[in-house]
Amino acid sequence: MTSSSCGWAVALGSALLLCWLSGVACSAAEPDERPIPKQHPRLLGSRDRLQRLAGERREAYQRMAAVAREREADDHAKMISMALVCAIERDEELGRRAVDMAMKYVNGPIKKGHVRFGSDLALCAIVYDLCHESWTADERARFHEYMNETVDANVRSETHVFHNAWYSYKHWGIGLACYATYYENDRAPEILRGLEADWRTRAAPALDLAGDGGGWAEGYYVNYWLYEWLFFCEAARYCEGADYYAMAPKFFRNRAVVSMFEAYPGIRQYNSRRPMPMGDGGGRTFGGERDKALSARRILVNYLRDDPSHQMVHTFNETTPRSSVGVYAYKDFLWRDTTVRKGDLSSFKLSHISPGAGYVYARSSWDEDATFFFFKCGDRFTAHQHLDVGHFLIYKYEELAGDGGHYDSFGSNHDVNYHLRTIAHNTMLIYDPAETWSRIRAGPVSGNDGGQAHSWPHHNGAVADPAAWHEGRELYDIADILAFEDQGSYVYVAGDCTRAYSPEKLEYFTRQIVFARPGTFVIFDRVKSTDPGFKKTWLLQTMKTPTGAPPNLVVTNGKGRLFIQTLLPRDPQVNLARGPDRYSYHGNTYPPQREREPAPECRIEVSPSGPASVDHFLHVLTATDADTDSVEQAAAQVEGEEVTVTVGKTRIMFSLAEVGGRIEVSGQGRNFAQAIVAEPSAKAGP
């Protein structure tokens, strides 16, 4: 046995031992004990099933066949389209062409590490299964060798289960290859058992921890990996009835709903929906991940087709019935099932909480001109997260309050000193001139922005699995959503952001937000520093440079407009960092190497006029259409341990001493929730 084979055996044994210790049943079946069909094709069902789909989904099939035979496309779209058409029509010539494409990977060098070796393996496995008759005996044997060598070379690659690559760079390809070569490659059963054990003991618990409620703490990168992993999960269902979804129900039963909430209102380029930014990335420019998000929702809707919430998602999906990238017609063919019952989207809930990631999403309606809101106050799990606890987004026709900086490259000067730092987000700075940051993404850290700490053992701020997270919980458990409720006319959320900052400079920072539908946001922050001389700065990243004069500013972006009223602190210092200055602080500038438009053009900084240990920040933001000239003027009054803000007929009282308060509309009052109320209320008022 080679040293790499020994490594795989050790990893397999360790995974099976973990399974046994955790009391989870692990399959140790021999090849003939699994109900995997012996005939090909099988990854996506039988040939008869695929042929039936070709008749039922004729329009999508014709588009896919054109990609297979005529159109230029990337290898992913080309090989899968060719393989499907070959299997359905028994087209030997098309199958031979697909095998020739696969053999370029098979005969190429074995890839290792943080590269898409799993995706290469997946494409070849799909061609192996669907075009099985087109492979010669020698080619099949060579594919088995390529598969085994790739697995052995990557035993220690992509092992962090909170990171996207476990699912899309590695295991979906290994899993598909195991099912495709079962009964033919002697090592396929062994490798599949190792995958299952790692999934049960490490990956599924990670999804339910960092993905409880359907959000994913890694952020936007969920759109890069989820589709591939769901592709494998579907193959497991077709091949042996294995239900990988049932092992992580907190994530999978909510993910399609959350994906719907994570799309900004409005249909954009090529009839697609733009995803909101979270952490690295953010869909600012058109890309194929929009089709991945749509296909992932479709797969989960098909699986949970009898669930009323997923019937609502199906209605939402059908507003963009075709993949936006033409060569991805195969995704429409495989996953768009119009027999799912539609729900009445107008009656669906308008907010959702994902407690695992610490995300709250809310909308004013399901109309395409709705106001959109997102709030983040969650824990640390992996590298693509930012130092942005307390951050929020507001969207009306266009982004109004956005996410600053550009993801020019992982660990660049701009990335580690601006893009991922607190200063690029809509939250709070507390400036201790003696504070330092080190070991962020192995990049050249030099800036002290006054933001949140990066104090994790790994320089990427990543943790390997749930066991390691719980062992180091005091490091990674950095924020909490304290309360959440949706009372119809308003959404209330409260978060404790304190532990995201160094305790050397901060005693507490809590944020409370009231989203009064359709477009008013009241944001109240309580901040206490350890030294009254540590300057506190409230941040707002605006997509365009504001007009007006502090404390009242107006941001207009396309058809949307945001009115900004600063009520506390009194007599604030307000700075607008615009143009090149938006990437500067404390005398240093960190411009991006390349810009991915659109991005915020201005950073609004609001600070108290003098030093104090305790400061309160109170802002009223109102999102409207660009034709609106003015909004109701808000007023704030501080009496004793309470501040009252009045906007029109609405009065909101916040406690200065603790998190909590009360809302009154036209004389009718209600105390804010003191905990998370997961299901939105059907009431339309306080």
Q: Each residue of 498-518: pLDDT tens digit? A: 999 999 999 999 999 999 999
What's the confidence (pLDDT) of residue 531? 98
pTM for the predicted model, two decimal places: 0.94
Three-state SS for 582?
Answer: helix
Residue 459 pLDDT more than 70?
A: yes
Residue 680: its pLDDT value, please? 60
- Does 471 have pLDDT greater than 70? yes
Q: Which strands sit side by side in the sheet containing 506-516, from one edge to the other?
A: 480-486, 490-496, 506-516, 520-529, 614-625, 560-568, 552-557, 547-549
For the stretch 661-674, pLDDT in tens is 999 988 889 999 99
Average pLDDT for the chain: 94
Average pLDDT over residues 297-322: 98
Q: Are 213 and 349 in contact (CB under 8 A)?
A: no
Segment 274-296 mean pLDDT: 94
Position 685 pLDDT exceeds 50 = no
At residue 4, the pLDDT reads 33
Which residue in this structure is represented by tokens 């080309």? 78
- Specify whether the CB–CB gap between 403 and 282 falls below 8 A: yes
- Per cent of the chain over pLDDT 90 is 91
Q: Supply the pLDDT for residue 266.
A: 97
State the Cα angle at 264 between 262 and 269, rounded to 5°.
120
Question: Residue 16: which residues within 8 A CB-CB, separation 6 or more?
Answer: 26, 28, 193, 194, 197
∠ CA 148-153-156 to the nearest 5 degrees? 120
Encode pLDDT of 184-211 as tens digits: 999 999 999 999 999 999 999 999 999 9
pLDDT for position 666: 83
β-pairing, 588-589 vs 584-585, is antiparallel
Q: Which structure tokens are listed for 649?
A: 């007929």
Higher pLDDT, 13 or 286: 286
User: Among 22-26, 96-100, 159-163, 264-268, where is mean pLDDT lowest?
Assistant: 22-26
Q: Where are the beta strands (DSSP E) in 531-641?
A: 535-542, 547-549, 552-557, 560-568, 573-578, 584-585, 588-589, 602-607, 614-625, 635-639
CA distances from 560 to 281, 622, 648 (A): 23, 11, 22
Q: Averaged over 617-644, what is the pLDDT? A: 97
Which residues, other chains included, contact 52 with Cβ-Cβ below 8 Å and sequence gap of 6+? none
Kindly state the average pLDDT of the residues 376-402: 98
pLDDT band at 5 (very low <50, low <70, confident <90, very high): very low
Mean pLDDT to the nearest integer, 157-166: 97
Q: For each of the domains in the chain, give its residue range(s) and CATH number, in order of start.
A: 17-252 (1.50.10.100), 351-671 (2.70.98.70)
**What is the C-alpha separation between 306 and 301, in angstroms, rounded?**
9
Average pLDDT over residues 276-292: 92
Q: Report, as an integer, the average pLDDT of 628-644.
A: 97
Coil, strand or helix: which one is 497?
Answer: coil
pLDDT greater than 90 at residue 16: no
Contact (CB, 8 A) for 211 and 248: yes
Distance in angstroms (rounded) separating the CA atoms of residues 33 and 38: 12
678 band by pLDDT with thresholds 50, 70 and 90: confident
Q: pLDDT tens digits for 603-625?
A: 999 999 999 999 999 999 999 99
**What are phi and psi for residue 615, nearest 5 degrees?**
-135, 150
Please give the pLDDT value at position 598: 87
